[in-house]
Structure 1
Amino acid sequence: MERIAGFKSSSEGKSNEREGGNNENFDLASGDEHQLHLDGSSSTSRRLHYNRHTPHQIQQLEKLKRERHENAILKQENEQLRLENLAMKEAVKKPVCNECGGQATIPDISIQQHKLLIENARLKEELSNMTSVVNQLSITINNNNKNPTDLNHPTSQMVQLRTNNYGYLHEHASTAIEELLKLGLLNAPLWNKNMEGGGETLNFEEYARAFPHCRLGIKPLGFVSESTRASGVLPMTSLALVEALLNAQRWREMFVGMIGSCDTMEVISNGIGGGSRNGALQVMKAEIQFISPLVPVRVVKFIRHAKQQANGIWIVVDVSVNDGMEGNLTRKCPSGCILHDMPNGFSKVTWIEHTEYDEKLAPQQYRQLVRSGLGFGAQRWISALLRHCEALRATTSPTLTGHLSINTKISLKGLAKRMTSIFCDAVCLTGDQQWDLVADAPGRPRIMARKCMSSLGEPAGGIITSASYSVWIPANHGHLFDLLLTKELRCMGWDVICHEIASKNMIHFPLGQDEISPNCISILSSNETASDMTGSLIVYATVDLPAVSMVMNGEDTSSVALLPLGLCIVPGYGECGTSVGECGSMVTLGFHILLRDLATSNLAIDTINTINDLVSRTVLGIKEIGRSS
């Protein structure tokens, strides 16, 4: 039988299929295309395709072939690595010294120690990465941009903010304003009455629910929180107080004894324009002090932002900025004041103070006092602000203390303010003075010394020594303050210069609403007293007749040499009670003594013993007065 033209035999087809398979190219096998002419007639063209695999199947087959080849290579490499690993383990078991070729010894490091080393390396790398991130959002210190003629920047370090950080600081301040406003408006259960220091204390559980995200990050290990709120009515407008708070020098003068030093490091914005202080933003640094040599000074760097919330309503907020380079031991969470103008020219102030600090640095007998807010809390700021406003009114009013001219009162107030500042700075070691430590044994006075600086209103020549000591006295602080001001007890018990001064006040200037106010300035020596529920202060110094004449004439007294002495009384703790001030007071004494015959701060043992005896006699006298009450 003849084959039909155009078709191949089955044997030929099979042969072609085998050839295609041997080539392993997976090409499509197809037959020839022919036309069939049967019975002299032409039929329709017809295509016959012999496709063994689809394109998708071909791709999968190619992929499988590549994977088989790669797997074979990986198996070979894995086997080679396994053999190398075994060889290295054997080499570790029998180490050889590279120098001599003999047996070597290696330190016995356990697996646990090895894991710790790896973990330490990982943590160091993580810390380095986090520090670099923080530094990008922070303030960089630039010592090359110092302007020696700028009186507003007395420190050697200047802070220059990178331009791309301004937006972050504005956002940081705006968030702090919102939190401070909520803290000022909300009451219980967020705030609880403070039975010890007055005002209110923050309920931290409610605070965590109301403000779950802290802008300052996680609280450092060992830090504790302290937050208080207090209110008062001041005889000044809200705008006047805002202006004072934005001026570093005026701010320090308002809170003499509380602020050891302060500096405006950079002004980012003076306000929205047109002389308005709305939107003012600046970076500041301050030393906040408690008058005792035992309580560490709080050094804080923060941004201060002022905002006018509405007509007659201002908010001034402080919040810490972390530059990633300073190990500050205090963080200021959103704190500040909310001011409301009143129709009579007064203003209502709500003060909120919220800080985090390392409590371990404070001695045990002061910890509860600080927690209560009497040390650094809102009640102390409000009390100091009220005293300042009363003194300002008494100084500028022609009707109060009419026997003294306004210029005389201004001169006297300036002298007393400088005296108090010198006393507090020496006790707390703040301000610009550099002291040398002479003695600081436990249970003994801390004695410091430095050369006289006659240009600063000090005696010419010699060495000034400062001695300070804190002691617990079993007497209520207010009652003890009254007893210590009693003239007979003062001369017999504790005032070491009482016999050297006149028996009658040459000048008496009350700083309150009446003549019997506990806040006053007197010149029997130069003497300033101040008292409120957070504590009492008595500071005094001898002055000569030319200085008195300068005061009476209303002259500048900045050149008058002062060596202040005094004491600070705050509510304390005793064994008989658990609440602040129930049965005792913490009394801090401070002395300035001039040693004219010395040229260096190296004091002889006899001199140190004499100073210790002076402090001991004074402490015994105060204790005797406390027991007699």
Structure 2
Amino acid sequence: MYQPNLFESHQLVDMSHKTAENDMERMMRGEDEFESKSGTDIMEAPSGDDDPDPTQRAKRKRYHRHTQHQIQEMESFFKECPHPDDKQRKELSRELRLEPLQIKFWFQNKRTQMKMQHERLENTALRNENDKLRSDNMKYREALSNASCLNCGGPTAVGEMSFDEQHLRIENARLREEIDRISGIAAKYVGKPLLTYPNGPARSINIGVSNFGLQSALVGDFYGPGDLLRSVSGPTEADKPMIIELAVAAMEELIRMAQSGEPLWLSSPDNSTEALSEEEYFRTFPRGIGPKPLGLKSEASRESAVVIMNHMNLVEILMDVNQWANVFSGIVSRAVTIEVLSTGVAGNYNGALQVMTAEYQVPSPLVPTRENYFVRYCKQHTDGTWAVVDVSLDNLRPSTVSRCRRRPSGCLIQEVPNGYSKVIWVEHVEVDDRAVHSIYRPLVNSGLAFGAKRWVATLDRQCERIASAMANTIPADVGVITTSDGKKSMLKLAERMVMSFCTGVGASTAHAWTTLSGSGADDVRVMTRKSMDDPGRPPGIVLSAATSFWLPVPPKRVFDFLRNENSRNEWDILSNGGMIQEMERIAIGRETGNCISLLRVNTVNRNQNNMLILQESCIDQTGSYIIYSPVDVVVMNLVLGGGDPDFVPILPSGFSILPDGLNGEGGSSGSLLTVAFQILVDSSPNAKLSLGSVATVNNLITCSVERIKGAVASENL
């Protein structure tokens, strides 16, 4: 008797791809004539006598299709198990009334079909990626061919960096290629004119008065704070070669600005300060980002210091936007990385390039914030020095009028023994500061508000704080902290408290706060926010009030008075006249006043004795802070035991104390004091804010201000 030829059942595997694909599509639609070609149909097998002509055998096969139910069941089973074993195939054959061979070949065909579909998708993706790389290479070739020579004005020789070499770099290890490409551009184009594009008007970096200064002069109103941060978008592909060139040129300018002396930098008669000669600057750097626009004034400063931090850790802080904003929280109110153009060489940030936006502040509501859209470039030089430079990209936002643009600014970092680093910082901006309040104008003009001295002083102080946090030692005067974990938790809670305070004390509106208009007092700024599902803040409606005023007392004396627990009841209304006891102190710097304290308020009312005060005070030559927050005894005990401080609800209040920028008789000067409170006015986030709550906060801050002024007048300081 004739047996079915199983060789026929395997013909699909040996078919051409096109035939197999068509057959599988028909098979998956349930057309069993494909199955019959595979030998999986049940057919009557005639004997050799009944079928003398074997060539007619295929014509007499019975063809039928799988039912929709059978297909659905096999599809469902395939999702769970694409490779069924003999037992599973037999079980399916009984359920679906099919032969086991039909089940076997259906799954085999299905797997082949899925593999082909995957290969088609993969091939399509590879073709698209190849097209993109080819397009990018053409852009780079076009950019190189259109660059001009500084000396003769003619085209540069593309042979210095061949297209084939560029293509090979792109195809090789990507991280290494990025730094090689930037370094190659640096070697060719530093000091040469920037790129121009033949198609359409060029976005020249050399912005003159005609297209920027005129706009600035015609603008009668300021853009609101946070407009830039909310509206800026990333650079286009056509912009990226120009950004790379600008970053490389900015790096060269920063190094020369940091290392040059006279005539670029002019020292004061007593050598205490130095000023940038604008005439010499534009003679030395004739191109850059162009001449100073009308309506903007220049601010340039330089400062150096040796800080207690490893040079690579400093580089990481500067290149990580979150760490950078945290360390400089008193200066940087908000920062965002828009796009990373290069991550640098694997293992470090050499060659890293990223487009960013940032908002800078002074801790007072009377000084407008400054916003920048810029590129940040990091590079390690041949002598081992690291440099990080920022430069504005205002030319990429032609429709936006900026009140501040950043010429090449940043720092050089040199490794010195024992884990220290020498930092040379350069700040160079052009800004419209007409909105600065009159009492803060001398401070801003002195450079202590936004200049290099403030950046370096803040970095030095924060490096000492970080070193203290990393040390496993327990405070010498052992109090309530008995373990290093408890110390670290308390330091972490204080750090969050300081950052929360800084977000509410300045003029920034880019955060979650909502400024209230007509809140009652013209010199007090009141903001509100709703706190929901935030373990770091108590739930409900929180009001933040801040005001700034001048005191005829040096900043150091104001700082010492406000941080002294013995005189706290003279100004702290919340302490209800109780005595303050310092339970613990952690030193966070070489200055005596740089410490974190845990205070207990001893009041007559026993119900209030469960409240502690966490306080951080810090001071440097550019200003000081005293920031505090009430905390519950039970919750604080968990922190002191090494518990997670992120779940401790805090509402920080406190002071920022800045010099007034004026030297009085005998060398003394006054202080600019900002007082800020955050108060929970309703524990329900959905409650309506009442005018009575606003009035209460206004009265609280006004009363505190009067008490402080009274203490100054009575010479308690």
Give the distance between the partners of 1:176 and 1:477, measured in 2 at CA: 37
1:255–1:400 distance in 2 versus 1, CA, 3 Å: farther
Q: Verify the 8 A CA contact 2:681 2:693 in the aligned structure 1.
A: no
| Contact 1:459–1:561 (8 Å) recurs in 2 | yes
- Measure how far apart 1:406 and its partner are: 3.0
Q: Separation in 1 of the partners of 2:419 and 2:661?
A: 41
In structure 2, distance between residues paired with 1:342 and 1:472: 41
Kindly provide the amino acid, as one letter, of the partner of residue 514 in structure 2. W
Rounded to whole Å, the distance in 2 between the matches of 1:137 and 1:456 is 49
Q: Deviations over 1:489-526 (max 9, x none)?
A: 2211x22223487732232111024xx72111112101
Offset of residue 603 of structure 1: 4.4
1:553 deviates by: 1.8
User: What does 1:421-432 align with in structure 2 at a 5 Å threshold?
Assistant: 421-428=499-506, 429-430=508-509, 432=511
Moved over 6 A (4+): 135-138, 155-158, 194-198
- Name the amino acid aligned to 2:660: G
Matches within 5 A, 1:382-461: 382-399=456-473, 401=475, 403=478, 404=481, 405-428=483-506, 429-430=508-509, 432-439=511-518, 443-455=522-534, 457-461=536-540
1:538 corresponds to which residue?
626
Distance in 2 between residues matched to 1:567 and 1:136, nearest whole Å: 42
Offset at residue 578 of structure 1 (A): 9.4
Q: Of the candidates 644, 647, 652, which is equivalent to residue 564 of structure 1?
A: 652
Distance 1:536 1:618, change over 3 A: same
Structure 1 range deviating more: 190-199 or 429-438: 190-199
**2:550 matched residue in structure 1:** 472
Q: Say how many residue pairs are matched.
A: 477
Q: Aligned partner of 1:455: which letter? A: D
Task: Kindly provide the amino acid, as one letter, of the partner of residue 706 in structure 2.
Answer: L
* Percent identical: 36
Change (3 A) 1:443 1:584: farther
Q: Could you tell me which residue of structure 1 aligns to residue 335 of structure 2?
A: 262
Aligned pair in 2 of structure 1 residues 196, 280: CA closer, same or farther (>3 Å)? farther
The residue that corresponds to 2:573 in the other structure is: 496
Aligned counterpart, 2:250: 176
Q: How far apart are the structure 2 equivalents of 1:536 and 1:252? A: 18
Structure 1 residues 266, 476: closer, same or farther in 2, change over 3 A? Answer: same
Q: How far apart are the structure 2 equivalents of 1:369 and 1:380?
A: 11
Task: State yes or no: 1:519 paired with 2:594.
Answer: yes
Q: Does 1:187 align with 2:266?
A: no
Whether contact under 8 Å (2:566, 2:580) holds in the other structure is no
The correspondence of residues 357-396 of structure 1 with structure 2, limited to 5 A, is 357-396=431-470
CA contact (8 A) 1:159 1:265 kept: yes
Structure 1 or 2, whichever has the larger Rg, is: 1
Distance 1:193 1:469, change over 3 A: farther
Distance 2:693 2:268 in 1: 46
Q: What is the CA distance between 1:240 and its match in structure 2?
A: 1.8
What is the distance in 1 between the residues matched to 2:369 and 2:679?
A: 24
Q: Distance in 1 between matches of 2:472 and 2:268?
A: 39
Looking at secondary structure, tell me which structure has more helix per residue.
2
What are the ranges of 5 or more consecutive residues in structure 2 without an aligned counterpart?
1-198, 208-228, 600-612
Looking at structure 2, the residues matched to 242 and 219 of structure 1 have their Cα atoms a distance apart, in angstroms, of 30
1:92-241 → structure 2 map (5 Å cutoff): 133-134=202-203, 159-193=233-267, 200-213=274-287, 215-241=288-314
2:333/2:503 contact within 8 Å kept = yes
User: Which residues in structure 2 correspond to 1:303-382 (within 5 Å)?
Assistant: 303-322=375-394, 323-382=397-456
Q: CA RMSD in A?
A: 3.0
Moved more, 309-318 or 481-490: 481-490
2:676 is the counterpart of 1:590: yes
Give, in angstroms, the shift of residue 599 of structure 1. Answer: 5.7
Q: Matched residues in 2 for 1:408 and 1:251: separation?
A: 26
Distance 2:689 2:268 in 1: 47
Aligned equivalents of 1:589, 1:169: Cα separation in 2: 42
How far 1:161 sits from its partner (Å)?
A: 2.8
Distance 1:287 1:160 in 2: 17
1:288 corresponds to 2:341: no
Which sections of structure 1, spanning at least 5 residues, go unmatched? 1-129, 139-154
Instruction: Please give the alpha-carbon distance, in whole angstroms, between the structure 1 residues aligned to 2:499 and 2:416.
Output: 33
Match of 1:69 in 2: none
Equivalent of residue 249 in structure 1, options 322, 326, 338: 322
Task: Please give the alpha-carbon distance, in whole angstroms, between the structure 2 residues aligned to 1:464 and 1:260.
Answer: 20
Does the 8 Å contact 1:438/1:603 carry over to 2? no
TM-score of the aligned structures, taking structure 1 as reference length: 0.70
TM-score normalized by structure 2?
A: 0.62
SS at match of 1:222: coil
CA distance in 2, matches of 1:564, 1:294: 20
- Alpha carbons 1:197, 1:534 under 8 Å: kept: no
